A = this chain, B = another copy of it.
Amino acid sequence: MAIQVATDAVVFGYEARKGLCLLLIQRKTEPFAGSWALPGGFVLEHESLEQAVQRELEEETSLRVNYMEQLYTFGDPERDPRKRVISVAYFALVKRNGQALQASTDAADARWFAMEQLPALAFDHTHIIAKALQRLQAKLSYEPLGLELLDEKFPFSELQQLYECVLQRPVDRRNFKKKFMSLGILDELNEKSVGVGRPAGLYRFNRDKYNERRQQGMVLEIL
């Protein structure tokens, strides 16, 4: 009997109200049927690892992600109680606006959970999530990953709140804006947000400028 290869996706979303959220599915099948778990499943013979994660994610939640990278491979012989399975975990970010979740195929349900209110999880998924959160926090400081979590257009304060929420510490408004704007990857739009208080200018991520700077070997230290 051979070793099986699976993938799991740690998918983060962000909402101003709930803060950082995580996408989980409820398992239909043993082991851990009924438990909440990361979306994922076995890799097919002829697909790449990336294709496998994306396929599983779509099958289980009908979701398309905005950013994805490999996180880590978990291979403890005891991580699956039934057989030997190693899992290549991926780390993903998604803009939540609009996209509805829709459980299907292998999942009984799919839901967003606030990071502070995660349910008990199957396998070693708590461990995987911890690693993903570390990665997110680390990368946020030197890559503009936060922009992958926000809507197309957003007020600057939302970006700041995202940073504060993920890094779990306050961020000075003026210093943050100064530094972030100096990266030259945000465009200010001629639109204002609505709501209570003074309307805020809206910004948009300029991916072209970003790629340009990257290619020039520019290091983007944000915090």
Contact = CB atoms under 8 A, between A and B. Distances in A.
A35 to B, nearest CB: 24
Q: How many copies does the complex hold?
A: 2
A1 to B, nearest CB: 7
Contact of A5 (B5, B46, B47, B72): B5
Contacts of A119: none
A127 to B, nearest CB: 14
A73 B45 contact: no
Contacts of A43: 3, 75, 86
Contacts of A1: 45
A48 interface: yes
B86 A47 contact: no
- Main SS at interface, chain A: loop
Nearest to A86: B5
Interface in A35-61: 43, 45-49
A218 to B, nearest CB: 16
A30 B111 CA distance: 48
Contacts of A86: 5, 43, 49, 88
A46 B5 CA distance: 15
Contacts of A5: 3, 5, 75, 86
Contacts of A88: 73, 75, 86
A116 to B, nearest CB: 22
A76 B46 CA distance: 9
Contacts of A199: none
Residue of A46, A70, A77 most packed against chain B (CB within 10 A): A77
A120 interface: no
Interface in A77-123: 77, 84, 86, 88
A72 B70 contact: yes
Given A47-B77, A49-B75, A49-B86, 12 more contacts: A1-B45, A2-B2, A2-B3, A3-B4, A3-B5, A3-B43, A3-B45, A5-B75, A45-B84, A48-B77, A49-B73, A70-B72
10 contacts: A1-B45, A2-B4, A45-B84, A46-B77, A46-B84, A47-B77, A48-B77, A70-B72, A73-B73, A86-B88
